[in-house]
């Protein structure tokens, strides 16, 4: 567990009407700025500022760029590093700078942050799906991954066992990458569910892990944005402990991704791509 991800605070604990001083451990939330520079550019371009839990910042930035279709593979990245001035031993500005290789698809004049992925933007589902199609997501329709229902039901407990920061704070999202046999490949945590997904897909890309034959489980609900990010990474099976949104289901069905929700207590609903889940 990254020590920067938690923060101890003095509190007053109430037990009925009785008050007593105590200590609590909170998850840290801080801004991170993601900057990009294409070959030949003299200046860095700021693409996004996201509120996140410190740790695995290089993976978060990489996963973000993958989800935005700026990069497609490890070879599209020339370098990725944390940057920012220090005050003593403390970095006072949280920035990750990603230098792109010639193969990356980046035009600062054309790239706009895809805020249609938020639930409040008001853009219709058809426009959102067309926008994803224009981003050239990796094909998952032909993947022959199969996951046994028994294995699927066991994943939430396995994910929970690996959540070190959640165990301390009780207030964190997680995304886990699993083999079809239910073996945990990697888990990433963050105060934001989309950041946890970015950290996980960014880790897989930087480590050159093939995700086409693996499944992802997220600890919360399955939003459109999470399905988008998994799709752009090439994941064909996405499961969530919570509920999916209507647009998340539409997106999964449009691109033949397997999407399961309410995965808990030995039950789940399969909203798309049910052929990849082997029921008894």
Give the catalytic positions in this structure: 121
The answer to whether residues 106 and 36 touch, using CB atoms and an 8 Å cutoff, is yes
Question: What's the rounded Cα separation, in Å, for the pair 197 and 189?
Answer: 8
User: Strands 215-218 and 237-240, how do they pair?
Assistant: parallel
% helix, strand, coil for the chain, step of 5: 30, 35, 35
Cα gap 103→149, rounded to integer Å: 40
Per the CB < 8 A criterion, the answer to whether 260 and 248 are in contact is no
Residue 275, CB half-sphere, CA atoms under 13 Å: how many?
Answer: 10
In whole angstroms, give the CA distance from residue 180 to residue 215: 7
Half-sphere exposure (Cβ direction) of 218: Cα atoms closer than 13 Å: 34
Q: Identify the CA nearest to 57 among candidates 28, 25, 37.
A: 28
**Cα separation of 198 and 192, whole Å?**
10
């Amino acid at each position: 567990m990254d020590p920067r991800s938690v923060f101890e605070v003095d509190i007053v604990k109430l037990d009925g009407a009785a008050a007593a001083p105590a200590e609590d451990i909170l998850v840290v939330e801080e801004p991170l700025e993601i900057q990009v520079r294409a070959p030949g550019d003299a200046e860095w371009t700021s693409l996004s500022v996201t509120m996140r839990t410190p740790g695995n910042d290089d993976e978060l930035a990489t996963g973000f760029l993958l989800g935005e279709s700026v990069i497609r593979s490890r070879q599209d990245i020339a370098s990725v590093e944390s940057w920012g001035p220090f005050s003593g031993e403390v970095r006072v500005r949280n920035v990750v700078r990603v230098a792109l290789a010639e193969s990356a698809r980046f035009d600062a004049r054309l790239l706009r942050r895809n805020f249609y992925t938020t639930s409040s933007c008001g853009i219709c589902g058809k426009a959102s799906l067309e926008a994803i199609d224009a981003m050239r997501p990796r094909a998952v329709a032909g993947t022959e991954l199969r996951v046994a229902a028994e294995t699927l039901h066991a994943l939430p407990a396995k994910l929970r066992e690996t959540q070190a920061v959640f165990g301390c704070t009780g207030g964190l999202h997680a995304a886990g990458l699993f083999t079809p046999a239910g073996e945990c490949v990697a888990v990433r945590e963050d105060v934001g569910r989309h950041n946890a997904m970015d950290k996980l897909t960014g880790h897989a890309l930087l480590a050159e892990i093939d995700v086409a034959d693996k499944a992802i489980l997220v600890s919360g609900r399955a939003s459109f944005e999470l399905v988008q990010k998994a799709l752009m990474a090439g994941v064909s099976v996405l499961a969530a402990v919570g509920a999916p949104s209507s647009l998340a289901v539409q997106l999964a069905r449009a691109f033949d991704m397997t999407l399961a929700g309410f995965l808990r207590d030995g039950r789940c609903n399969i909203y798309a791509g049910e052929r990849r889940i082997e029921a008894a």
